[in-house]
Amino acid sequence: MRPPPRDLEPVALFHARPGKMALRDAQDLMAWPFFSLAKSRRITPIDFRMGEIAIRVEATIDHGMATIWDADILIWAASQIVDARDNGLRTSRMMAATPHEILTFIGRGTSAREYGLLKAALDRLQSTTVATSIRQPTERRMHRFSWINEWKERVDDRGWPLGIELVLPDWFYAGILVDAFVLTIDRAYFDLTGGIERWLYRLVRKHGGRQAHGWSFDLRHLHIKSGTLSAYKRFAFEVRAIVRRQSLPGYRLELGVTRSGEPLLTFRASHPDPFTRFRKARAAEDNL
């Protein structure tokens, strides 16, 4: 008999592992505008171009665009896969977990309402389509995918719920299995409530790292890079409020001006890398 085509071969199911682990985020998702930053439904596409980078994100009327809060599920997936790989375990794009495991990992409640919100987030991740030139040989070659290829609720022979299965796209899965494309993030990220606030933390973590001198962006450049539908004045107002609150875990923000008089945001690390603190906290717990 002729062997089945590669795309029809069964994919091994990877079961989520319990216990604490460092949070990992995909660097490409931290650096570029892939998600809606608003809690209200967004239908307007993100159409972003900068140099050789091209990104087009489209949403359906029924579900709207995947939001930066929905992306917490991708952080959960990346954290699970990288931790399993580092422990010598086999991973897969097809993942299985209970809603309770996902919700508690991303700092949510476990009520019936939260379960319903989780399913709505999975629907948005599945129905949002992305086309990007990132990690493609040339700008003209675009990789097209959804954040989740498919997902379903699992039940046993009696119809009792067992959890959720989901399938990640190749583009995302390949990126998180390469060390250079993953960064640890602070668990306090899940406590950030604003869309721009969350997006700014991820950008700062990606570019600021642990560099002593930090990093700087002018606000107009940041506004373009965010992909937000908010006007520049509103965006600048929210960034100034974030600077006043100093709410980004691990970073100190300052506002200055460029030589041309434009607002300039500078950020510097204020404490060690979150993975270092995670390991110290884990070691302290093990010694109790």
pLDDT digits (tens, 9 = 90+) for 212-271: 677 899 999 999 999 999 999 999 999 999 999 999 999 999 999 988 889 999 998 886
Structure confidence at residue 63 (pLDDT): 97
- pLDDT at residue number 155: 79
- Would you say the C-alpha torsion 169, 145, 129, 198 has a positive or negative sign? positive
Q: What is the pLDDT of residue 286?
A: 54
Choose among 28, 26, 34, 77: nearest CA to 184. Answer: 26
- Name the least confident of 39-53, 146-160, 180-194: 146-160
Identify whether the C-beta of residue 176 lies closer than 8 Å to the C-beta of residue 270: no
pTM of the entire predicted model: 0.88
Choice between 171 and 179, residue whose per-residue pLDDT is larger? 171
Using alpha carbons, list the distances in angstroms from residue 255 to 219, 265, 274: 9, 5, 24
Cα gap 238→258, rounded to integer Å:
19
Q: What is the pLDDT of residue 8?
A: 38
- Tokens representing 5 are 């085509």
> What pLDDT was estimated at residue 177?
86
Backbone angles phi, psi at 217, to 5 degrees: -140, 140
Band (139; pLDDT cuts 50, 70, 90): low
Report the mean per-residue pLDDT for the chain: 88
Phi, psi of 150 (to 5 degrees): -165, 160
**Model pLDDT, residue 218:** 93
Whether 285 shows a pLDDT value over 90: the answer reads: no
For residue 2, the model assigns a pLDDT of: 44
Higher pLDDT, 117 or 278: 117
Least confident residue range of 59-68, 113-122, 262-271: 262-271
The answer to whether 274 and 185 are in contact (CB under 8 A) is: yes
Length of the chain: 288
